[in-house]
Amino acid sequence: MLDANLYENGSPTYSYCYYRLVCCYGRVALGQRVCEGDATNHATLCLRARSANRPYTVRGPIGLPATVYLKRLGEDSIPGFSVSGFGPSSFAVGDLDGDGDVDILVGDSFFGSPGISVLKNNGDQTFAAPVYYSVPLNEVVGEVALSDFDSDGDLDAFATIRGSFDQMTKIKVWRNNGDGTFAAPIEFTTGQGPAGIVIADFTGDGKPDVITANYGASSISILRHNGLIGAGAGFLPPVSFNATNHAEKIAAADVNGDGILDVVVGETVDIGPLATLAVMINTGNGNFAAPVIYDAAPGGRFGSTAVALADLDNDGDVDLIGGGLYSSGSIDNGAVTIRRNNGSRYLWRGRNNLVYQP
Amino acid sequence: MEAGTFGAAEIILFTNPNYVSNPKELTTGFINGDGFPDIVAAVPSGRAIEGFVVVNSNGSGGFNTPVYYEASQQTFDVAIVDLDGDGDRDVHYARKLLSGGHCS
């Protein structure tokens, strides 16, 4: 799936095309409209993106290559970038080759060239050219993550495979050869349409477990670690928990202070511009209670599925961070939304003034 | 109050004269050195702003006015990490290469 992250203005006021969607190969549906072109006769669709109302989701046909580009008005003369091999939409950072500096693993979501790319840090504020590991054309990557799941001392690469219609049900794992190159991937099953991924110990056995946020199934899936190390390391079949809405992003932290990791899921609502943040409490061994739902952007025009957790006020518990789009006079502007955790036994009374509440 | 439940939303608006989109991805980290986490948002599309927004903590649990940093292309993900080994944190962003296109 290519989420163009554009917004159509419902009003006919804007008669120009803010973006043009250029379709070169294949056939792409955009709502009721179809954009179909080939190498010599490309088609274009006008996208009005002046104001936010609802997102465009551009979808290609399952199993067929489709290549599309977005061009901004007035930039047609700028030489284009080919998306082949590099359409980054997420990344993870870590020392992939053991040389002490931080390298980058990029998830390439763009259908036509999905996969992962590795950018090694040269150690002199430059990065080596990306090394691209492809996946089949319809295996659109959602997000990537890094974890040493086989306990051999290097970081292995994980990617959710959501598919171009969120129809797929798996993650891919590339084992690190120890030098930042990666072996052929192995796969593990998830719920439908995995988008977000978080890797941490949710069961308390000291081994990393995988949780995916499943856009297609509106659920999360935990893939518990099998406890083995080396070549036998892997994950048990997924156990899924309903997350209410289309789960897209996920963050983990101990939300309720019981010492084990919980998750918060950023979700898209089927109809309307809302996004929700679903707080799901780990009741032990990676089992999750029914979600408690929060509006990501109360009073806003559009909600983000982006989510983060951090103790923003240093009161000892983690707070919830989301985002959205708000009308601001004649224009719209994004916003960060903060919800503070009710759980702390401390009240923040200003700098260096924590008041204990027994 | 019950741990793990959250209070009413506090909204920190990106009050820029130009359109700035909603966050595509969010992260936190210690940037300004006051001991409180700062927030970074990837903002992928806008009329003038395509880049990221840093919301610095004010040192007392609140936040200062957001600061904008332009990237040349749409920003879809963001992280705070010391990439150049100089001991402080840099903001890195994934750019979606969408600003042009051709069919050959």
Tens-place pLDDT, residues B37-65: 999 888 875 544 567 888 999 988 899 99
Q: Mean pLDDT throughout A18-46?
A: 55
Tens-place pLDDT, residues A259-316: 999 999 999 988 777 899 999 999 999 999 999 999 999 999 889 999 999 999 888 8
Q: How many CA atoms lie within 13 A of A61 on its CB side?
A: 12
Pick the closest to residue A173 from A140, A147, A211, A205 (CA basis).
A147
Say if the Cβ atoms of B6 and A101 lie within 8 Å. no
Predicted local confidence at residue B94, as pLDDT: 57
Residues of B in contact with A25 (CB under 8 A): 103
The alpha carbon of residue A89 is apart from the nearest alpha carbon of chain B, in Å, by: 5
**Region at A127 (left for phi over 0; alpha for psi -120 to 50; beta for the rest):** beta
pLDDT-wise least confident of A220-234, A344-358, B73-87? A344-358
Tens-place pLDDT, residues A101-114: 888 888 877 645 68
For the entire predicted model, the pTM comes to: 0.77
Q: Mean pLDDT throughout A192-215?
A: 96
Q: Mean pLDDT throughout A202-214?
A: 97
Q: How many CA atoms lie within 13 A of A217 on its CB side?
A: 24
Q: Which residue of B has its CA nearest to A294?
A: B6
**Average predicted confidence (pLDDT) for chain B:** 74
Say if the Cβ atoms of B28 and A310 lie within 8 Å. yes
Say if the Cβ atoms of B22 and A303 lie within 8 Å. yes
The alpha carbon of residue A231 is apart from the nearest alpha carbon of chain B, in Å, by: 31
Residues of B in contact with A50 (CB under 8 A): 47
Q: How many CA atoms lie within 13 A of A251 on its CB side?
A: 24
Q: Mean pLDDT throughout A306-334?
A: 88
What does each C-alpha distance from A170 to A165, A173, A225, A285, A299 come to in angstroms?
A: 13, 10, 15, 22, 36
- Kindly state the tokens that stand for A151: 């306990």
**A43 pLDDT band (50/70/90 cuts)?**
low
Number of H helices, E strands in chain A: 0, 31
